[in-house]
């Protein structure tokens, strides 16, 4: 059994709102669509692409094309990301008995891109990304998968989240939940 510290990526470890917006905006322009920044922040940020792109695009082929292109473009906009320095200081001060895992609905590629950009990959023992789960937050599947893998009970697990759906998913595990609001 391990103690477990689970961290959401977007909005928790990093503010990637601008990164994701810029990548989606450019990907959408390639299929002749525009996306307003305020619209993105209000209706898209923190949600899986399958939830918001169908509101903008009418066919599955375009949705998948835009999503693939967004993942390709993501790394080109990483200078717009902001790191949560206080949270990273906390991560570095955790006792060695903790397994430190990212649980995110972001893709593995985008997760690795930002970790490498900020040179913090080595701080994490593992990651659970969109490719590893069937159900996205508010379903707790990603968190529960990590808890099961590391045989950590809810009493041995703490979760750091920022979004309403993420916090709801975290609460469903019974673990201790820390809400990240601004940094």
Tens digits of per-residue pLDDT, 108-147? 999 999 999 999 999 999 999 999 999 989 999 999 999 9
Whether the predicted model's global pTM rises above the 0.85 cut? yes
Give the bridge partners for 102, in sequence order. 7, 127
CB count within 10 Å of CB 166 equals: 29
Give the other-Cβ count within 10 Å of 34's Cβ. 9
pLDDT in tens, 49-65: 998 999 999 999 999 99
pLDDT tens digits for range 65-95: 999 999 999 999 999 999 999 999 999 999 9
Give residue 48's pLDDT band: very low, low, confident or very high (50, 70, 90): confident
CATH class of the domain defined by 3-15+82-179: alpha beta
Question: Rounded to an integer, what distance in angstroms lies between the CA atom of residue 180 and that of residue 183?
Answer: 8
CB 146 within 8 A of CB 126: yes
Query: What is the Cα 38 distance to its own chain's centre?
Result: 20
């Amino acid at each position: 059994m391990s103690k477990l510290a689970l961290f959401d990526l977007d909005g928790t470890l990093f503010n990637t709102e601008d990164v994701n917006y810029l990548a989606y905006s450019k990907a959408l322009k390639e299929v002749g669509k525009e996306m307003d920044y305020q619209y993105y922040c209000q209706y898209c940020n923190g949600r899986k692409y399958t939830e918001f792109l169908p509101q903008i695009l009418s066919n599955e082929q375009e949705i998948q094309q835009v999503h693939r292109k967004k993942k390709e473009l993501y790394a080109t906009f990483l200078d717009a990301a902001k790191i949560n320095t206080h949270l990273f200081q906390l991560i570095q001060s955790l006792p060695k008995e903790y397994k430190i895992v990212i649980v995110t609905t972001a893709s593995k590629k985008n997760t690795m891109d930002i970790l490498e950009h900020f040179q913090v990959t080595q701080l994490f023992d593992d990651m659970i990304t969109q490719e590893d789960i069937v159900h996205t937050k508010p379903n707790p599947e990603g968190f529960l998968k990590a808890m099961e893998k590391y045989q950590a009970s809810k009493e041995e697990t703490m979760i750091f989240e920022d979004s309403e759906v993420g916090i709801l998913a975290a609460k469903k595990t019974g673990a201790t939940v820390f809400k990240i609001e601004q940094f």
